[in-house]
Chain A
């Protein structure tokens, strides 16, 4: 008999908390980054102030479809998060994330803006560079748990990380791409230090920008949560691991310059594929499956 609190109330709460924790992390991100660059940086709650301010601004749009698509980006990101917290199919989660990405790209293609178009195309290239790694990670999780359901991770007696350390590191690449951090921030940087016209985000303003920002937080949280699930038996350790990777991605962001798209594709695919395949081969050889 499944406990209704555990199977419904908790996931709903978690889902509701996703944007808030995501926003907080963005604030921490900006603070830490500022300190790394010997600046003081904005208050930790600045991302929230920004979004509230954006939401109330005078609305300008590129066409009637742009706000719908921007909302789609947020909506499908939330839906992917829901799939995760309700412990449904991981492949479904991946498809939903892809749908969110396509909404963002479509919104950026919606106007005849050269900047936005280049950004949109480069966002698609980002998807091209992380999606294969993510599918392979999901298949690896299947090898370890013999299930595509998120629930499978929790029915495992030991942490996933012990079986799939390579996959965990490969997911780190996905995280950096999804957080739009250097060296993989080809479509648009989350920080102003890289560019003046903001790639895929160029044509968003006011409430459409607010929705995209929220969607971005949710997606970042989504990947971080998957990483936390690598230590499912004790989620506190899992959260610690995820935060560690979050910090690593900030360090990497501040060390590396942006790559060209070709090199980004080569890097994510080479490292991602090699790490995951080596991990899986080891898993098969050691009879872990």
Chain B
């Protein structure tokens, strides 16, 4: 009964509510639907967290209808392939149909008990997907209104947008509950569908093009997943994920896991599949937030975390490590050459996912904890950052971070939210740094054969990460701004609700990190690992290091309070910047020239064009492809 309730609220209800959004197109009613949906998703995921996992097998009828829906889905992909005349999409879909049809024909009546199995890892993922995802849906209510106002659409396309948004969450929940690999593959393809439809939502030429890229790359993952299903069935006669994970590490099973890892890399946009996530930014911002923070990319990471215990001590796990490490470093370097706000965020996402996959691949108890910590904090921070970036974009009508100059003076509230979001990505004592701290310890204790390579990847990736965040942060705080009179900044209630809840969640979990690690992360580690992170007295300890989280927060608090006290007691007259004495009265961004005329000047960010995408992308593609080859080569050893 309990299991059915959770499945009904988290998987079926989003679909039904999504259909309701399609049918009932009123603005008020849509707000009501999203509010109800968000509340019930959050409530049910919390209920799931408190009540623990369950197993659930739907009856035959449900199973049959899922199968039929699955074939409808690939048929739709085939139709899309012909419509956009994309050979890759057609080919991959046909391959998919062939694989699944042959499987269904040869394995008639194979059934999996239980079809859905919810354990601690699923619960952990479910909290991220539902809480962050719901907030993004709430945020989208305001964003899409503004978005359509800017586009000046004659007829609102929001019903369709929210349908796919909700369906996405439902499918994501289904994906993390599935134990039957066939079901997993089905939900996997539903997320691909939602992703495709949401990216092309605006129907511009660029949107269609990028959506097609996302489609074929993710279909590659789908085919890989079907192949894995196939191999698994022929190796152990079962397509239950739990049985596959228990079956040991025979070479043939490793092949199955290698296919799963490949599928995960496509979804998590690891090299060489990073292109689709960058292209996905043409979509309205809530889509990016959803893809980066709560759904799509986390599906890949989830799958890696799921299979990690099974590939422990195999060569395969090192290939996974290398893919993650290589992606982590190179995308961080790529990010410093970018000036588009969403592009920087996207590279940062791919980079952090690389780090998570690197940790998952290292496959020690501490590494697994590090991966979970990074995943948790990344989801919250990145959701917040994308949402904030969307608000800014709708106000400035530009994605270039040059135009963010002096945001603190122009839109103080949004700016503060963005500043905290950025700090939470790269400075202590926020959670991401806690994850990075654990990751550094893990990498340092990896085997001698690989440790040097990983250290180099890690240090370069970390240092460049600091650079691109600090550089961007610096744009926001340029003061004073030209418009001296501050406009009172007004944010719509859904914006306020979603941004402030994620912000406070981020702060809350970062301050209480010790508590959350012992109650949320450690129980999830389980599964063949012994927990190696202790969290006594608000400090986080491993066998080789210690991070006194609460003490750190206290120190930060003291420093800032003392800083404000000093600033207040000493005060000071605000003076214009040093311009060799040639300042123009009343205009902080102009100077007097030789000819005594007034000239405006600009300060821009350093761009590092010489190490940009043009130069590094080929390394990313070649390196990524070679590492994929390595992945399959490792199966043979």
Contact = CB atoms under 8 A, between A and B. Distances in A.
A256 interface: no
A65 interface: yes
B559 A72 contact: yes
A111 interface: yes
A236 interface: no
B99 interface: no
A158 interface: no
Nearest to B591: A114
A284 interface: yes
A273 B601 CA distance: 40
B570 A59 contact: yes
Interface of B: 405-406, 408, 427-428, 433, 437, 440-441, 443-444, 448, 452, 455-456, 458-460, 462-464, 466-467, 470-471, 473-475, 477-480, 544-548, 552, 555, 558-560, 562-564, 566-567, 570-579, 588-589, 601, 603, 605-606
A64 interface: yes
B559 A280 contact: no
A89 B542 CA distance: 11
A148 B571 CA distance: 41
A65 B444 contact: no
Interface string A95-133: 110110010011001111111110011001101100111
Contacts, number: 186
A88 interface: yes
Interface in A28-70: 58-65, 67-69
A111 B577 contact: yes
A161 interface: no
Contacts of B579: 113-114
A233 to B, nearest CB: 22
Nearest to A123: B470
B427 A143 contact: no
B230 to A, nearest CB: 43
Contacts of B588: 112
Contact of A131 (B408, B441, B462, B566): B462
Given A149-B545, A206-B572, A91 B474 contact: no
A67 B578 contact: no
Contacts of B427: 95, 98-99, 102
Nearest to A132: B459
Nearest to B428: A95
Contacts of B562: 71, 75
A229 interface: no
Contacts of A142: 444, 544
B424 to A, nearest CB: 13
B463 A102 contact: no
A134 B578 CA distance: 34
Contact of A143 (B440, B444, B460, B555): B444
A109 B466 contact: no
B545 A91 contact: yes
B545 A197 contact: no
A79 interface: yes
Residue from the set B433, B444, B462, B573 with the largest chain A CB neighbour count within 10 Å = B444
B567 A67 contact: yes
A220 to B, nearest CB: 20
B437 A117 contact: no
A121 B471 contact: yes
8 contacts: A67-B563, A71-B567, A72-B560, A95-B433, A102-B466, A111-B576, A128-B467, A139-B444
A231 interface: no
A17 interface: no
A112 B577 contact: yes
A131 B477 contact: no
A232 B488 CA distance: 58
B479 A62 contact: yes
Contacts of B473: 102, 106, 109
Contact of B470 (A64, A75, A105): A105
A147 interface: yes
A116 B576 CA distance: 12
A82 B471 CA distance: 28
A208 B437 CA distance: 32
Given A60-B575, A68-B564, A131-B462, A146 B428 contact: no
Interface string A195-232: 00100001100111001000000000000000000000
B177 to A, nearest CB: 37
Given A110-B477, A136-B459, 14 more contacts: A64-B567, A67-B570, A67-B572, A106-B470, A106-B474, A110-B478, A121-B605, A128-B467, A135-B455, A139-B440, A139-B443, A142-B544, A148-B444, A206-B572
A207 B548 CA distance: 32
Nearest to A197: B578
Contact of A128 (B458, B464, B566, B589): B464
Nearest to B482: A112
A109 B563 contact: no
Contacts of B547: 89, 92
Given A124-B471, A139-B444, A206-B572, A99 B428 contact: yes
A142 B548 CA distance: 19
A158 to B, nearest CB: 20
Contacts of A121: 471, 605-606
B578 A115 contact: yes
A71 B558 CA distance: 11
Given A62-B575, A135-B458, A280-B452, A109 B474 contact: yes
Contact of A148 (B408, B441, B459): B441
A173 interface: no
B574 A61 contact: yes
Contacts of B433: 95
B603 A114 contact: yes
